[in-house]
Amino acid sequence: MAGTVARLDGPPAEWWERLAARLIEALVFGVIYYILFIVLWGVFRTVGGLDVFDGRLPGVLAWLVGGLGYAGYDWRAHCRRGRTFGKAIMRIRLAPAGLAPLALLKRALVYPAPVLLMGIPVANLLAGMLLFGVGLLILVDKPLERGPHDRLAGTRVVKDLR
């Protein structure tokens, strides 16, 4: 039992490890966003709907679908494996393991779900400020280095010493 307790917890992941994990994921989801944008732009151009919202509708929808996909992926990956592919590459994970899906859903709704708003003028500024604030709060929360999304779910991101 003592080995199990030690495995559930560990030293907090460094801020740069968490940032690198999110950047790795952002690259992949950025490619997905651009593919969605190109497809939606082509569809709206074909049906004559590019004038809606001054031509911003394909970008807004691509951000909504891509952001929803990213938040859904984040939630599902943490529910199933306790980490996303970016965290796996950086050898960090969420602790404690085996949290209720509802707690992890709340975590995903605080971060990264605001990405859904990135295509909407003005809302994108607020979403960017929220995401920046989450990162800043991780830096100042010593010694656990938890952001508001971690606090809400009762989680920590730790080094994966396995």
Structure tokens at 24: 């790795």
Residue 17 phi, psi dihedral angles, 5° rounding: -70, -40
The whole-number pLDDT of residue 49 equals 77
Neighbours of 118 (CB within 10 A): 20
Strand partners, 158: 12, 93
Nearest to residue 134, comparing CAs of 124, 146, 120? 146
For the chain, the structural domain boundaries read: 14-159
Q: Average the pLDDT over 141-145 and give the result.
A: 88
Q: Average the pLDDT over 10-34 and give the result.
A: 94
Is a pLDDT exceeding 80 seen at residue 6?
Answer: no
Structure tokens at 49: 């709907």
- Rounded to whole angstroms, how far apart are CA atoms 95 and 7? 9
> What is the pTM for the complete model shown?
0.86
The whole-number pLDDT of residue 3 equals 36
The whole-number pLDDT of residue 162 equals 75
Give residue-wise pLDDT tens across range 28-58.
999 999 999 999 999 988 888 777 777 888 9
Give residue-wise pLDDT tens across range 67-78.
999 999 999 999
Give residue-wise pLDDT tens across range 93-138.
999 988 899 999 999 999 988 888 888 889 999 999 998 999 899 9
The whole-number pLDDT of residue 120 equals 86
